[in-house]
Structure 1
Amino acid sequence: MKLSHFNLDIPEKLLAEFPSENRDEARLMVVDRKTQTIEHKLFKDLIDYFDEGDVMVLNNTKVFPARLYGNKEKTGARIEVFLLRELSAEQRLWDVLVDPARKIRIGNKLYFGDDESLVAEVIDNTTSRGRTLRFLYDGSYEEFREKLTELGETPLPKYLNREVVPEDAERYQTIYATEEGAVAAPTAGLHFSKHLLKRLEIKGVDFAEVTLHIGLGTFNPVEVEDLSKHKMDSEEMQITQEACDIVNKAKENKKRVCAVGTTSMRALESTVSSSHTLNPYEGWTNKFIFPPYDFSIANCMITNFHMQKSTLLMMVSAFCGHDLMKKAYAEAIKENYRFYTYGDAMLIL
C-alpha cells in the first residue's frame, strides 16, 4: 500500500482538546471484522465483549514531564527543551529536542527554574533540532530527577494547541502506569477507570502488562509514498515471562487476546516465536506494521482515532482491513466522534 491510501479529511472541530469528564464514558465504536458491522457504545460497555479467560494486554509505560523551558545564557532567550532519552545517568546526559534550534549551539548553556538551580550545557548536535545536553546540578541523582520532575511540564502533543492545565498531569496518564520512560501516553489505555478494570477482573478477564516507552518517533510523519522505505525510530520495550505465560495460555485456549493500543500491539509483534507464541524480550524495537500484515498474537484490539497518514492509522488498517477501516472512519466523522489523543475509542473484534 502507498502513503496516499491513508489520506483522510478529518474536520478540525473533531479534534478533542480535553478528555471526557469520566474516563470510561468516552464513546466506543465496535467494529466486527467477521460481520463487517459497526456498533456505537460507551467505553464502559467494553465489558460485554469479554469473558472469563480472555486477556487484555496493557502497556504500563509512564509518561514523565518531558517539556522544560529554560533561558539561554547572556541573551536570556526562552528555549523549549523536550527530553527524549537519558543517555547516561552517571554523567546526566540526555538526548533532547530544542526550539528554536537555530539559537542553540555546542557550548551554549541553558538555565532552568526561577532560581536557575539547574543548568545544562550543549555538548553535541544530533539532528537539525536534536541536541545532547549535560545537566549540571549539585545534588544526588535522585535529587536531580526530582528537580526535572519539578520543572518539567506534561508533554501534551503540540497539535492540541493549548496550555497545559493541572488536570493533564493525571489525565495524560493511564491508571496502571508504573514504568517511567515515555514522552507520550498510550492513549487507548486512557479510557480505563479503576471501576472498569475491577469489573473486568471480577468477570474473569486476565491482564498481561508489557512495557513500551513511547518516543516522539511514533508521531514522525511518513514522507515516502512507498511505505516499505519508511524507517521507524527505535523504542525501548520489555515483555516478561509472566506476561508471555498469560498471553500464550489464552492463545492455546482459543480465548481473546486484546492489545490495548497500537503500542501494546507493536510490542507483541516484536517478539514472536516461529510457532506464533510470545517470547520474553528486553531491548528495542523499530517494527513498522502496515498493510498487508499477518498478526501473530492479538485477535482484537482497542485503539483511538488517529491522524491521517500516521503510522498508527496504518497499523489499524493492517489489523482491521483497509476498506473496513475507511468505512469506520467515515462513520466516526459522520457521527461526530472525537479524534486523537483525548478522543474516543474503537474496539476491533
Structure 2
Amino acid sequence: MTEDPRNIKIKDYTYVLPEEKIARYPLKRRDSSKLLIYNKGSISHDIFYNLGNYLSEGDILVYNQTRVIRARLIFRKPTGAIIEIFCLEPAKPSDYESNFSARKTVEWRCLVGRRKKWKSGALKMELQYNNNKVKLYAEQIESMEKESLVRFRWDNEQLCFSEILDIAGHVPVPPYLKREDEVIDKTRYQTVYSRDDGSVAAPTAGLHFTEGVLSDLRERGIRTHAISLHVGAGTFIPVKSATAGGHSMHIEHFRIEREVIEKITGGRVIAVGTTSLRTLESLYWIGHKIREGAIVPGEKISLEQWYPYDNNSDIDYREAMVTILDFMDKNKLQYLEARTGIIIVPGYRMRIAEGLITNYHLPGSTLLLLVAAFAGDDWKRIYDYSLDNDFRFLSYGDSSLLLP
C-alpha cells in the first residue's frame, strides 16, 4: 500500500443521490429487486431471483443471520414530554444472550432523545400482555458524552427482556427513510434467515433472499454458511471528517461457529453484505494476531480500526484459519466471539472474500469506501449505471453482485 489510507479524502467518494431514488418501502416481493452484475469490469443487470445464474458450483455464500431488535422505546413523562430511548448495546449482563433472557432487570448503553428533559426519576410505560398490565421502568444511571447507561426493570417475571422489546419497542428503521416504522417493517426489515437477536439495523444485502432463491442456490451446488454480526447504530453515523483518518469507526460484535471456519476454505467466498465482509476480513486478522501472540486466552478478542494497515501479513487465509482452529482447540471453544473496529477503505487487499453482494450506500459513507475498496475506481461506473437505470437505493433498495 503506497498511500497512507488515513489520508484518503472523503470528498472523492461521494455522488449526487436524488431523493426520489431512495426506496422508502420494500417491493412486494423480496427477490424481484434489480440485481447489478459487475464482473471483471463489465456491467449488466438482471432480477435478484436469477442470482444463481451468475455464481458457480462450489461457491460459498456467507451471510449474516443477526436479527433486528425493536430497539426504540418511546416513553411519555407525566408532563407530556416524549423521551425516546434507543438501545445500542447490552451492559449488564454484557452478553446478548444472557441480557435478552433476563427476567427482572437489565442495563443497556443507549442513545436518549431529548435527554435534557430527563434529568432524574424513572420513566414508566404500561404494556398489555395476555390481558394483564405490565409496567416497564427506565432509569438513567449514568450520563456520558453521547450515550446514557439505562437500567430497565419490569414487574412481570414471566417476560424476558427480548419479549419486553417485542411488546414495547419500535423497529429502528433508518433515519433516511424519513418515516416512522410501520407494520410491514416487522417482517420486511428482517432477513428470512434471521436468528440471533442483537442488531439495531438490518444486514440489508440479505433482505432480497427468499426460501426459493436459497433452494435454487443449493440445487446448483452453491453452499451457504452463517455468521452473526450485530449491526450497530454506528452504521448510520456519517463521516464528518475530511479524511478517513479523522473518522472513528464503530465497534461491532460478531460470533462465528467452528464449522463455518472449517468450511470457508473450500471454495470462492462471496460475502452477503458489508457486515459479512467485515466479519470475514476481521477473522483473517484475528488469525494474524494469534500468530503474533497478541491475543491472550480468556480475554475478549478485539480488532482495532487500523490494525490491518499497521501490520504486514503475507500468510494465506487458509493458514490463518488453521491458526484460529488450533487456538479454539487449545481453549476448548466451539465458536469464536470478537469485537471488530476495522475500517475497509481503498487500498485494502481482501484476504478472504472474492465477491460481494451489497445494496447501494450513502454518499461519503464508510460503506461506500468499502465498496470502493472492493471495486476500485469502478465504483463510480457502478453507481452511475445504477442511477441511469432507475435502481432503487439504500436499505430497501436494489442489489449488486460485485466480482472484481
Deviation string, structure 1 residues 128-174 (Cα, Å, up to 9, x no partner): 3x211111212337434312210111110111112322121010000
Retained in 1: the 8 A contact 2:134–2:155?
Answer: no
Deviation at 1:116, TM superposition (A): 7.0
Query: Is the 8 Å Cα contact of residues 69 and 198 (structure 2) preserved in structure 1?
Result: yes
SS at 1:134's partner residue? Answer: strand
> Is 1:7 the counterpart of 2:43 in the alignment?
no
Residues 140-289 of structure 1 correspond to what in structure 2 (within 5 A)? Answer: 140=157, 142-250=159-267, 256-272=268-284, 273=287, 274-277=315-318, 278=321, 279=324, 281-289=336-344
Give the equivalent residue in structure 2 for 1:113.
126
Conserved in 2, the CA contact under 8 Å of 1:27 and 1:344? yes
The question of whether the paired residues in 1 share the 8 Å contact of 2:174 and 2:236 is answered with: no
Distance, in Å, in 2 between the alignment partners of 1:181 and 1:144 is 12
Report the alpha carbon displacement of residue 16 of structure 1 after superposing the two structures with TM: 0.1
Do the aligned partners of residues 3 and 81 (structure 1) sit closer, same or farther apart at CA in structure 2, a change above 3 Å counting? same
Instruction: Give the stretch that moved more between structures: 49-58 or 189-198.
Output: 49-58
Cα distance in 2, alignment partners of residues 229 and 257 from structure 1? 32
> Letter of the aligned partner of 2:249 in structure 1?
M
Fraction of identical pairs, as percent: 38
Hey, what does 1:39 align to over in structure 2?
Answer: 44
1:337: which partner in 2? 391
Q: Which residue of 1 aligns with 2:115?
A: 101
CA offset at residue 210 of structure 1?
A: 0.7
Contact 1:231/1:288 (8 A) holds in 2: no
Say how many residue pairs are matched.
Answer: 338
Matched, 1:21 2:76: no
The question of 1:303 aligning with 2:362 is answered no
**Aligned match of 1:253:** none
Check the 8 A contact 1:59/1:260 in 2, yes or no.
yes
Q: Distance in 2 between matches of 1:71 and 1:137?
A: 16
Give me the TM-score of the superposition, normalised by structure 1: 0.93
Q: What TM-score does the superposition give when structure 2 sets the normalisation length?
A: 0.81
User: 1-side partners of 2:233 and 2:145: how far apart?
Assistant: 14
CA distance in 2, matches of 1:136, 1:269: 38
Whether the 8 Å contact between 1:171 and 1:190 is mirrored in structure 2 is yes
Q: 1:61 — aligned with what?
A: 66
| Cα shift at 1:86 | 1.5
Q: Distance in 2 between matches of 1:127 and 1:333?
A: 39
Instruction: Assess if the C-alpha contact under 8 Å between 1:70 and 1:113 holds in 2.
Output: no
Which AA in structure 2 matches 1:58? Y
Give the counterpart letter for 2:275 in structure 1.
T
Q: What is the one-letter code of the residue matched to 1:195?
A: G
CA deviations 1:253-285 (Å, max 9, x no partner) are xxx210000000000010113332344631210
Select the residue among 140, 149, 159 that pairs with 1:132: 149
Distance between the aligned counterparts of 1:24 and 1:189, measured in 2? 10
Kept in 2: contact 1:206–1:246 (CA 8 A): no
